[in-house]
Every structure is written in structure tokens, then in C-alpha cells.
């Protein structure tokens, strides 16, 4: 079954508070995670919350990486969506686990745009 993309939804636990609460560090780690996975970075948008937390997205040619952090809980919710066969979303997730000094990660991969399913939908219209 051919999919257009792979979307990894990662729960990253036991992270370093200071890293998750530093917008520049989070952005740098997200950009480097995209590069580590073999992606081409296009744009970034990040926001620092008060009193803590960071949300952001790295737009890549192959789709995106997104994050929201809860530094007080040592937790980050990470999405890595890639299209094509050249970029591995797991490489990005594993890179972030290392850089956030995480205790562990649980993650699920969802296949997006199942070509067989799309063709059946079109035929049934």
C-alpha cells in the first residue's frame, strides 16, 4: 500500500526544563532535527509563552515539524510529517529525544494519503 507521506506523532517525556523553555534552543533543535532527517528547511515560526512553554513549526519542502512544550512537566508533543521517500521522520524524532535530554519517547506513525484509498474515493464520486 503506497502512502504519500509518513506522520510520526511523538510524546517526549523526561526532558530538560531549561531546554524546553528556551525558544531559541527549541527552534535550533527542531531545524537541526529536520536537517538530520534529510529535509530541506523553508520557514520557521516559534512563540514563547509566559510563564513557560514554546510552540513552533518548521516548514520543510517535504511537509513540516511541529512542537508544543510543557517544560514544567518535562514533556514535548512533537509531530513530524514527511512526504516522499528521501526523508525519515524517525531520524528527526530520535534527534530531538537526544537534544531534549529526554527520558523516553512513545510514538506512532500514521501513513497519510494512502494512494489506493484516494483512487477508490475518486472512482466512487
CA distance 48 to 20: 10
Closest CA to 6 of 108, 97, 74: 108
Closest CA to 12 of 68, 88, 91, 51: 68
Q: Are 79 and 93 in contact (CB under 8 A)?
A: no
Q: What is the DSSP letter of 86?
A: S
- Residues involved in catalysis: 63, 68, 83
Pairing of strands 3-13, 104-114: antiparallel
Amino acid at each position: 500500500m503506497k502512502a504519500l507521506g509518513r506522520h510520526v506523532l511523538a510524546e517526549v517525556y523526561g526532558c530538560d526544563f531549561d531546554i524546553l523553555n528556551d525558544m531559541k534552543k527549541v527552534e535550533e533543535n527542531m531545524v537541526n532535527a529536520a536537517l538530520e532527517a534529510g529535509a530541506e528547511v523553508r520557514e520557521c515560526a516559534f512563540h514563547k509563552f509566559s510563564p513557560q512553554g514554546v510552540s513552533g513549526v518548521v516548514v520543510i519542502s517535504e511537509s513540516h515539524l511541529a512542537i508544543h512544550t510543557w517544560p514544567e512537566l518535562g514533556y514535548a508533543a512533537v509531530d513530524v510529517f514527511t512526504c516522499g521517500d528521501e526523508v525519515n521522520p524517525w531520524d528527526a524524532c530520535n534527534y530531538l529525544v537526544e537534544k531534549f535530554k529526554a527520558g523516553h519517547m512513545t510514538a506512532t506513525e500514521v501513513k497519510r494519503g494512502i494512494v489506493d484509498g484516494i483512487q477508490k474515493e475518486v472512482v466512487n464520486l
